[in-house]
Amino acid sequence: MTNMATTTEPPRTADISWDGVDLQALAQKLGTPCHVYSATAIRQRIGALRAALHGMNALVCYAAKANSNVAILQLMTEAGFGADIVSAGEMHRSLRAGIPAQRIVFSGVGKSADEIVEALSAGIARFNVESADELHLLQRLAAERGVTAYAAVRVNPDVDALTHAKISTGKSENKFGVGIDEARRWFAESARLTHVRLDGLHVHIGSQMLDPDPIRMALRRVADFWRELVAAGHAINSIDVGGGLGVCYRAGRDQPIAIEDYVAIIRHALADFRGRILLEPGRWLAAEAGALLTRVIRVKQGRQRRFLVTDAAMTELLRPSLYDAWHEIAPVTLEARPVQTYDIVGPVCETGDTFAVDRELPRCEAGDLLMIRTTGAYGASMASNYNSRPLAAEVLLDRGRYAVVRQRQTFEDMLAGERPVRQWENA
């Protein structure tokens, strides 16, 4: 799907404002690097999704891992959305943002006993169970507390999502979910589960999916399995279709699936399902609503290449280093300049700290402000303190106004949990 509104998408030409906020003035006031998010753009995506789902018994559970800033989660709260979490930390963030526990589902292959206990105590809606060991642990912990846990089996349908290998999750060699044969055994033995109600299915085959065919195939396999289970006498009250819908990182090359077409695939596959359908979009809601502002530190002419060194690094945006991901980069200026070719790199002491190679940009100089686009998902949420770099500020833009939603980390903040050895103890 193409960007939805030219008034709120990141500028692809020499614009200097976004969502009514002057980016040059903002960067001058708050410093760089700095993550900025358009509340208007997120609301537009929310509205488009709600319109596409009209008439369906559906609950949207935003994938908090995409961007777990409390201010972003609050936008989901205002929309009546829930949250898909993969850690107790994401649960605490979601609850603090006002998302009711009854709208939270817990996914992930490595839920610890402590995390499960926290989620049971909070009264979350559902656990997406990914292994027999987890299922038995959930049964024991729920029984010890005298509560019933609602659970869905995460089915691994062995479908290639046709995306990057590191974000593909639905093939048999991936660590996620269980095969249909194993899931079938779980349901056959479910009467033994005195404190777990196994009444749901879950599937999620990957992220940044641009081809609808793997989605159709995965949902078809899940739908066939659901009908088989019902025929065998099992009640299936929810089907979680996951997330993973792709966005446009590279204009003219990425062709995302329109949200209406995506929902139509779900409607067709689950046409006669009378339970609740859960969706877990993350990237689609947040990615194109975010950008990373960074200044040029210097231009370095190497023996073979010209480097544009920025104050942002892989510590602020890991995707290019981790996935060889493409992000569009543009100077935030109205000035016309001749085009030059650069390798755009950060200051971290890793060759992999590279945003782009052989990228043509208007000629840049030290001090110029750049925008790295489509960073609203898996940008700040994957940040680190590597090289002892404080975390960048995060700012929400909204129709001409802004709010700092995460203060820039100070050196004191970064060191707050550390201390020199003053006393040794025995375990």
Residues labelled as active-site residues = 349
Distance CA 65, CA 87 (A): 9
For residue 32, the 8-state DSSP code is S
Q: Work out whether the CA dihedral 406, 407, 411, 412 comes out positive or negative.
A: negative
**Angle, CA 236 vertex, CA 189 and CA 214 arms, to 5°:** 105
Distance CA 221, CA 106 (A): 23
Quote the distance between the C-alpha of residue 226 and its chain's center.
27
Angle, helices 180-188 vs 132-145, to 10°: value is 30
Length, in residues, of the chain: 427
**Angle, CA 224 vertex, CA 239 and CA 52 arms, to 5°:** 45
Q: In the structure encoding, which two tokens stand for residue 217, read together?
A: 């195939």
Query: What residues form DSSP beta bridges with 395?
Result: 36, 404
Element (H, E) at 425: none
Distance CA 178, CA 189 (A): 15
Distance CA 286, CA 168 (A): 20
Find the largest Cα–Cα distance for the chain: 72
Q: Identity (one letter) of the amino acid at 21?
A: V
